[in-house]
Amino acid sequence: MTRMEQAFHLFDTYNQQDPSEPSEYFYAIKLYEWVKKLDPEANEPLLLASRCQHIGRWEISRKTYPEGRVGYLKWRSDLSKFHAQKATEILQSLGYDEDIIARVNEIILKKRLKTDTEVQTMEDALCLVFLEFQYDDLIKKQPAEKMIEILQKTWGKMSAKGREVALSLTYSDAGQQLLEKALK
CB 175 within 8 A of CB 138: no
Q: Which of 118, 133, 182 is nearest to 156 (CA)?
A: 182
SS3 54: coil
Into how many domains does the chain fold? Answer: 2
Q: What is the pLDDT along the chain (184 residues), one digit of tens a residue?
A: 999 999 999 999 999 998 877 788 999 999 999 999 999 999 999 999 999 999 999 999 999 999 998 999 999 999 999 999 999 999 999 999 999 999 999 999 999 988 999 999 999 999 999 999 999 999 999 999 999 999 999 999 999 999 999 999 999 999 999 999 999 8
Domain with 40 in it: 1-109
Last residue of a domain, one of 59, 83, 109: 109
99, 122: one domain: no
pTM: 0.92
CATH number of the domain bearing residue 80: 1.10.472
28, 83: one domain: yes
52, 95: one domain: yes
88, 121: one domain: no
102, 50: one domain: yes
74, 160: one domain: no
In our burial notation (b when 16+ CB lie closer than 10 A, e otherwise), range 105-138 reads bbbbbbeeeeeeebbbbbbbbbbbbbbeeebeee
138, 102: one domain: no
CA distance 119 to 138: 25
85, 166: one domain: no
